[in-house]
Chain A
Amino acid sequence: MASHSTPSRAARVLPWALLLALASFPLIAPGFGLGYYVGFVRHALIVMIAATSLNFILGYGGMAALGQAGFIGVGAYTVVALVDAGFTSAWGAWAAAVAVAAAVAAAIGAVSLRTRGVYFLMITLAFSQMLHHLAVSLRIWGGDDGYGLHAPLELGIGLGGAQGRGLYWAVLGIAALLFAFLNRLAVSRFGYALRGIRDNETRMAALGYPVYRIKLAAFVGAGAMAGLAGALLACHHKFVSPSLMHWTESATLLVIVVIGGLGRRWGAPLGAALWLTLTEILKLHTDYWHWPLGLLLILIVFLAPEGMAALFEGRRRSA
């Protein structure tokens, strides 16, 4: 059982310091000639949102889903559909993406959650492959070639268009709020019930918990969150293509969560930061940037099976 010792002062101040540093980064970075990295950090924050959604169902709920990229694609294509129809509000498009992704996740989850383990992994993969094929053949939105979002959506509230710094702060705000919300949720009644199901489903059912409904609620929430990440990604890249939904994208998210630390508060952010930074550095220096990452994965599986967050949080059992 996790012991909830009072966090030290450093642990309480650190998240706020990090938030402040990230918020001021776009103002400071250009002065040091690091303007390029504002976009990089923005991308990392979006990936973190997607990874956090997976960490929630996999780490806390024990549901190994290999289809999270499908929901990212649903969110991104919702934005494409709205832009194509002449819609201009960023917040409205993002909210719509959340709603559509949640609906799709509810349908997929209702079927998939009847299976377990590897079969669950495979059936979520199958559904995301179906979504991928659907996107490839939808020629009104570019099909395999993708769809360019040429004019940015409007953010309003003094931030202007959904691009540059405005989009950066919007993404940072959303990421921080979701992160805080999920950390609260993890120690709520719902969060404890979800962890109980992960550890012993039969016992939770015997105690009278609606196991299936709790798992489905978590799955839908994670799908909606991934959809939001997809919508933000669409605005970030100003381009959407079916490759967003390729199964290797889902696998990469799994990798990020596992190297960060499954079911750990800082797992997803650490994993995303580590993975994307390494990818960026390796790409800069060599065309052969895959194999060091592959080697790293194998080493992590053998040497640090509980992920990076475990190294920082000490060796307590994962929460």
Chain B
Amino acid sequence: MDVIFVVEQLLNGLGQGLMLFLLAAGLTLVFGIMDTMNLAHGSLYMAGAYIAARAHQVGGNFVGAVLLAMAATALVAFIVELLVVRRLYRRDHLAQVIATFGLILIADDAVKAIWGPSPILAPTPAALAGPVQLLVELPYPAYRLVLLGVGLLVAVGLYLLVNHTRVGMLVRAGASNRAMAEFMGVRVDRVFSFVFALGAALAALAGALMGPISAVQIGMGEAILIPALVVIVIGGIGSVRGAFVAALLVGLVDTAGRAFLPPVLRAVLPPALAADLGPALAGIAVYALMAAVLIFKPAGLFPARA
């Protein structure tokens, strides 16, 4: 295990963490402001991946395809919010879980009807297909670098939006005390519609960017939803800053677990046991992290509500 390998894995972990952040940012705001658990957030990620992959194949323009995916997904989310999610704000979490689980079932069948049951190919844009020589001995895929760049850019943009604009102030007011914000004259439901669509666009962005390096298939939303929920719970529900820190933490722990645990175990345990135990521990690492955080900080690392 040399330094180059470690740096490469850390970069991978960072990239994965930033993509998780794109998903978790929308989820945590929806959860924080309206106290609404939206399981269907993963379906928006899936929608973004499918739309971008098909648009890229047909149109040949990657940036255009990603923007189209974001816009289309935000539009779908806006309609879904109007028809279903808006009616769930005042209900308990269980009702929200059941109804949004229903949305997942509908979304999966809709994707199957439109694009077929088998996974589709999301091409890597030709200009970014090769590696970039980061250091003399460290070639790194250009596409993954773009991922890192976009992720950081969005994180900074979101930070500015939430902390230094009027809209952001309303969002924060809604997240920390919705009733008080309403008494002060904030139209929290409008703020929420905006946040919901924004969250959907970010989820679609994550899906569109992850498409070329993961499988674009039905069920990808359900698979990514759980890590995203883990992130917002670790970070503290409603806190964008918490989601950012937790997303990087989860990305790094997950990648480090997969990359470094197996060799370490092979060095100290019999090979057969190490081969079984390595992947198990790597898969468990993230959940163990969350359980540990919840035991010591039951409201997450950065509780949004005092």
Cα A315 to Cα B108 with chains together (Å): 35
Cα A295 to Cα B117 with chains together (Å): 20
Which of these, B91, B93, B105, B226, contacts A118 with CB under 8 Å? B93
Which residues of A lie under 8 Å from residue B226 when comparing CB positions? 125, 129, 247
Q: Mark A168-191, 1 if CB is under 8 A from B, else 0.
A: 000000000000000000000000
Which of these, B93, B230, B284, B290, contacts A117 with CB under 8 Å? B93
B138: Cβ under 8 A from any A Cβ? no
B154: Cβ under 8 A from any A Cβ? no
- How close is B251's CB to chain A, nearest CB, in angstroms? 17
A139: Cβ under 8 A from any B Cβ? yes
Cα A163 to Cα B80 with chains together (Å): 46
- How close is A165's CB to chain B, nearest CB, in angstroms? 34
- Tell me if B298 and A115 are in contact (CB < 8 A): yes
Cα A297 to Cα B98 with chains together (Å): 6
A111: Cβ under 8 A from any B Cβ? yes
- Tell me if A290 and B230 are in contact (CB < 8 A): no
Which residues of A lie under 8 Å from residue B79 when comparing CB positions? none
Which residues of B lie under 8 Å from residue A289 when comparing CB positions? 109
Which residues of A lie under 8 Å from residue B298 when comparing CB positions? 114-116, 119
- Tell me if A294 and B106 are in contact (CB < 8 A): yes
- Tell me if B95 and A301 are in contact (CB < 8 A): yes
B99: Cβ under 8 A from any A Cβ? yes
- Tell me if A127 and B102 are in contact (CB < 8 A): no
Which residues of A lie under 8 Å from residue B101 when comparing CB positions? 251, 254-255, 294, 297
What is the interface of chain A mostly: helix, strand, loop, or mixed? Answer: helix
Which residues of A lie under 8 Å from residue B95 when comparing CB positions? 258, 301, 305
- Tell me if B275 and A139 are in contact (CB < 8 A): yes
Binds B, one of A9-17, A26-34, A130-138: A130-138
- Tell me if A291 and B87 are in contact (CB < 8 A): no
B97: Cβ under 8 A from any A Cβ? yes
Which residues of A lie under 8 Å from residue B37 when comparing CB positions? 118
Which residues of B lie under 8 Å from residue A134 when comparing CB positions? 280, 284
- Tell me if B105 and A297 are in contact (CB < 8 A): yes
- Tell me if B98 and A291 are in contact (CB < 8 A): no
**Chain B, Cβ-Cβ closest to A132:** B283
- Tell me if A118 and B237 are in contact (CB < 8 A): yes
**Residues 10-52 (chain A) with a chain B CB within 8 angstroms:** none
- Tell me if A123 and B294 are in contact (CB < 8 A): yes
**Residues 42-87 (chain B) with a chain A CB within 8 angstroms:** 84, 87
Cα A290 to Cα B298 with chains together (Å): 36
Which of these, A119, A127, A140, A298, contacts B84 with CB under 8 Å? A298
A270: Cβ under 8 A from any B Cβ? no
- How close is A135's CB to chain B, nearest CB, in angstroms? 9
- Tell me if B280 and A297 are in contact (CB < 8 A): no
Q: A64-B93, A117-B93, A119-B298 are in contact. Are A138 and B109 (CB under 8 A)?
A: no
Which residues of B lie under 8 Å from residue A312 when comparing CB positions? none
Cα A300 to Cα B94 with chains together (Å): 12
Which residues of A lie under 8 Å from residue B103 when comparing CB positions? 294, 298
Cα A298 to Cα B294 with chains together (Å): 31
Contact count band on B: 35 or more
Cα A123 to Cα B99 with chains together (Å): 21
Cα A291 to Cα B104 with chains together (Å): 9
- Tell me if A293 and B229 are in contact (CB < 8 A): no
Which residues of A lie under 8 Å from residue B187 when comparing CB positions? none
**Chain A, Cβ-Cβ closest to B117:** A287
Cα A66 to Cα B299 with chains together (Å): 18
- Tell me if B97 and A298 are in contact (CB < 8 A): no
Which residues of B lie under 8 Å from residue A301 when comparing CB positions? 88, 91, 95, 98-99, 102
B291: Cβ under 8 A from any A Cβ? yes
Which of these, B102, B108, B109, B117, contacts A298 with CB under 8 Å? B102
B112: Cβ under 8 A from any A Cβ? yes
Which residues of B lie under 8 Å from residue A125 when comparing CB positions? 226, 229
- Tell me if A290 and B108 are in contact (CB < 8 A): yes
Cα A248 to Cα B112 with chains together (Å): 18
A126: Cβ under 8 A from any B Cβ? yes
Cα A291 to Cα B43 with chains together (Å): 13
- Residues of B with Cβ closer than 8 Å to A? 31, 37, 39, 84, 87-88, 91, 93-95, 97-99, 101-106, 108-110, 112-113, 117, 222, 226, 229-230, 233, 237, 275-280, 283-284, 287-288, 290-291, 294-295, 298-299
8 A-B contacts (beta carbon < 8 Å): A118-B93, A122-B233, A125-B229, A130-B283, A291-B106, A294-B101, A301-B98, A301-B102
8 closest A-B pairs by beta carbon, nearest first, are A294-B105, A297-B102, A133-B283, A137-B280, A294-B106, A291-B109, A294-B102, A126-B287
- Residues of A with Cβ closer than 8 Å to B? 58, 64, 66, 111, 114-119, 121-123, 125-127, 129-130, 133-134, 136-140, 247-248, 251, 254-255, 258-259, 262, 287-291, 293-298, 300-302, 305
**Given A122-B233, A290-B108, 19 more contacts at CB 8 Å?**
A118-B37, A122-B229, A122-B294, A125-B229, A126-B230, A126-B287, A129-B226, A130-B284, A136-B280, A138-B276, A139-B275, A247-B222, A248-B222, A251-B39, A295-B106, A297-B98, A297-B99, A297-B102, A300-B98
